[in-house]
Homo-oligomer: A and B are copies of this chain.
Amino acid sequence: MWVLVVYDISDDGKRNKVARELQRLGLGRIQRSAFVGDLDPQRYKDLVRVCDKLVDGEGDILHIIPLGLRDWERRVVISGDSDRRETVPLL
């Protein structure tokens, strides 16, 4: 099951801990506060449990969003680094 995890966490220590846990669970970083990956049902449950435990700061928020592989493959990535600009897929 593909998932996207995006978060707003103000405390640096907590934010880094969440990032380490997401990587430990097998997710890959696509932005500073956004990770994507394909998890089996048990790993998905671990993800929810770990995030539920770690995200506890006032105003902090984290979204875990299931993602269709086809949808992920049709993503558009726009980068400010001219050499990393990915072509925009035609719909």
Give the interface of A toward B (CB within 8 A).
4, 6-9, 30-34, 41, 44-45, 48, 51-52, 55-68, 71-72, 74-81, 88, 91
**A–B complex contacts, Cβ < 8 Å, 9 sampled:** A30-B63, A33-B33, A44-B91, A56-B80, A58-B80, A61-B79, A64-B78, A66-B75, A68-B68
Q: A6-B6, A8-B31, A68-B68 are in contact. Are A63 and B48 (CB under 8 A)?
A: no
Majority SS at the chain A contact face? mixed
Q: Which residues of B contact A80 (CB under 8 A)?
A: 9, 55-61
Q: Which residues of B contact A7 (CB under 8 A)?
A: 31
- In whole angstroms, how far apart are the Cα atoms of A4 and B55 in the complex? 22
